[in-house]
Chain A
Amino acid sequence: MGRKIKSVIFYFLCLVSTILCLFLLGILIYHLFIQGKDYFTWDFLNNFPSRFASKAGVKPGIYGTFYMMALTAIIAVPLGISTAIYMEEYGPKNKWMNLIQINISNLAGMPSIIYGLLGLAVFVRFFGLERSILSGSLTLSLLILPVIIIASQGAIKSVPQSIRDAGYALGARKFHVVFTQVLPAAIPGIMTGVILSLSRAIGEAAPLIVVGAVGYISYLPHTIMDGFTVLPIQIYNWASRPQEEFQGLASAAILVLLIGLFSLNFVAVYIRERFQRYKDND
């Protein structure tokens, strides 16, 4: 076979794969939209869950998801980035560090239900934090920490040595080089990792079920020690009911979740662009 034909075939294989992925995603969203559009109303966003489909809403789910994400980000992001900075810039390069590195990579691939069980045992029971937003956030923080650490390490590693050399050659100390040169240059990569991992956390239901999120809740959380529900749990709860109306409600709730995810990704792109202003122009 000629090289030219091979190249054309390869091109079409790639094209077909891309179209197939987009097509499947399109069908999914279309289906959700058709099923959920009649339920996606102002009342739906503003009501509490109910056993009457016509009165049911996702208000506590939206609040719960928002609080959960905010608290998870507050806990996991500083910890994750600091760990990455230590491991890349300050820590010794020895076999212990290698062992830790391997473990972090393994943790990133652990099934999320395991984190849920850990959260139940450690945060809910041992620390007595009960079935609260705090317990849930701590559990999700553990879940996304490895991903944030690995993404941040990658971003820090990709800052060229020549930038560090330039900093040191001007009489800078390590602190200045790390915090005013390396870190700003790594921010776009770090933010991408952070947002991707938060997006993953937003969609998690399994570990939160174990930690004790509830499907039915009649109040909004006021403190981080209150009980909670989140959108994926609400969706899971509705989708497992036999009635047609609740299927529609589930679809509408998925639309809410998707809008949240898209906004989050939009923020990520914005931050990346903003920090990349001084990156190479070519």
Chain B
Amino acid sequence: MTNILTTKNLNIHYGPKHAVHDVNLNIKDGKITAIIGPSGCGKSTILRCFNRMNDFITGIKISGEVVFNERNIYHPSTDPSRIRKSVGMVFQRPNPFPKSIYNNIVWGPKINNLDLDFEELVETSLKKAALWDEVKDRLNDSALALSGGQQQRLCIARAIAMSPKVILMDEPCSALDPKATIKIEDLMGELRESYTIVIVTHNMQQAARVSDETAFFYEGELIEFGNTPDMFTNPTKKQTEDYITGRFG
């Protein structure tokens, strides 16, 4: 099994705060990897290193390497917007553009000058995101008229439209109700066929349900990383056990 994303001695400082300590993590190609841990353990920060979305935060200092496709994406010669074409992202709160459903999907490919049949792209992307049947008759309506769950699936469709290799999901269900959450989780099961997914979640049950591999972080350190069923049934570290059994966090 090949690793699609690898971090080597990744350290992140926010000003004086050492947020992430020496993380070495391997994300396997074609798997769903869950990153779990209590609030403030640095899990979102690490996720945002995979597509350099941390670049916009002032006062952040990142050292070490993040290797994607055998290239260090933090190498000075790397163009972050090229990385983001192959590493898509879904955010904590659904953030569709204030445009039509159709234009939400085609905006990314259009500005990146992808030469595609846009009608077809919209249909296939929405189908892959399990949203097509609900919106096919109103593609020109505002994306903001959709429900929260539909908006989040639209955001997934928007990411898929760029044909990324990896989709990063930053607590994608935390703003959704249980019904919408189940839909997103089912969708992730289907998407794993074509994409590598890294999901940050504060919900351990969700990690157990959807992921193949789980990484547990505590106070900026990678405590344990392994196969999800093993980790939830037989954690090797005391802290992991305490967290997944709900003793803290």
A residues engaging B (CB < 8 A)?
160, 162-163, 165-173, 176, 180-181, 184-185, 277-281
What residue of chain B has the Cβ atom nearest to residue A162's Cβ? B95
| A168-B53, A171-B108 given; A163·B98 CB < 8 A | yes
Q: Provide the residues of chain A in CB contact with B26, threshold 8 Å.
A: none
| A168-B53, A171-B84 given; A181·B162 CB < 8 A | no
Q: Provide the residues of chain B in CB contact with A169, threshold 8 Å.
A: 51, 53, 84, 88-89, 91, 159
Say what secondary structure dominates the interface of chain A.
Answer: helix
Interface string of B44-87 (1 = CB under 8 A from A): 00000001010010000000000000000000000001101100
Question: Which 5 residue pairs of A and B lie closest in terms of their CB atoms, listed nearest first?
Answer: A170-B108, A171-B85, A162-B95, A169-B89, A278-B142
Within the assembled complex, what's the spacing in Å between the Cα atoms of A180 and B144? 17
Q: Are B155 and A176 in contact (CB under 8 A)?
A: no
| A162-B93, A163-B95, A278-B99 given; A168·B144 CB < 8 A | no
Instruction: Determine which of B96, B98, B107 lies in contact with A170 in the assembled complex, contact meaning CB atoms within 8 Å.
Output: B107
Within 8 A of A (CB), among B8-62: 51, 53, 56
What residue of chain A has the Cβ atom nearest to residue B92's Cβ? A162
Q: Are B112 and A280 in contact (CB under 8 A)?
A: no
Instruction: Determine which of B82, B88, B95, B142 lies in contact with A165 in the assembled complex, contact meaning CB atoms within 8 Å.
Output: B95
Within the assembled complex, what's the spacing in Å between the Cα atoms of A166 and B151? 13
Q: Are A166 and B53 in contact (CB under 8 A)?
A: no
What residue of chain A has the Cβ atom nearest to residue B162's Cβ? A170
Q: Provide the residues of chain A in CB contact with B81, threshold 8 Å.
A: 168, 171-173
Within the complex, the shortest CB–CB distance from A159 to chain B, in Å, comes to 9
Instruction: Determine which of A162, A180, A277, A281 lies in contact with B107 in the assembled complex, contact meaning CB atoms within 8 Å.
Output: A180
State how many residues of chain B have any CB contact under 8 Å with chain A.
29
Best-buried of A163, A170, A180, A279 by chain B (most CB within 10 Å):
A170
Q: Provide the residues of chain B in CB contact with A184, threshold 8 Å.
A: 98-99
Complex A-B: 12 CB contacts under 8 Å: A166-B97, A168-B56, A168-B81, A169-B84, A169-B89, A170-B112, A170-B159, A171-B85, A180-B111, A278-B142, A278-B143, A279-B144
Cβ-based interface call for B145 (8 A) = yes
Instruction: Determine which of A166, A172, A176 lies in contact with B91 in the assembled complex, contact meaning CB atoms within 8 Å.
Output: A166
Q: Are A278 and B98 in contact (CB under 8 A)?
A: yes
Q: Provide the residues of chain A in CB contact with B93, threshold 8 Å.
A: 162
Within the complex, the shortest CB–CB distance from A25 to chain B, in Å, comes to 35
What residue of chain B has the Cβ atom nearest to residue A176's Cβ? B111
Q: Are A277 and B97 in contact (CB under 8 A)?
A: no
Q: Are B97 and A181 in contact (CB under 8 A)?
A: yes
Q: Provide the residues of chain B in CB contact with A168, threshold 8 Å.
A: 53, 56, 81, 84
Q: Provide the residues of chain B in CB contact with A173, threshold 8 Å.
A: 81, 111
What residue of chain A has the Cβ atom nearest to residue B86's Cβ? A171
Instruction: Determine which of B53, B85, B91, B142 lies in contact with A277 in the assembled complex, contact meaning CB atoms within 8 Å.
Output: B142
8 A-B pairs besides A167-B97, A281-B142, A281-B144 with CB distance below 8 A are A165-B91, A166-B158, A169-B51, A169-B89, A170-B159, A171-B82, A180-B111, A279-B142
What residue of chain B has the Cβ atom nearest to residue A166's Cβ? B95
Q: Are A171 and B162 in contact (CB under 8 A)?
A: yes
Within the complex, the shortest CB–CB distance from A161 to chain B, in Å, comes to 9
Within the assembled complex, what's the spacing in Å between the Cα atoms of A185 and B56? 21
Q: Provide the residues of chain B in CB contact with A166, threshold 8 Å.
A: 91, 95-97, 155, 158
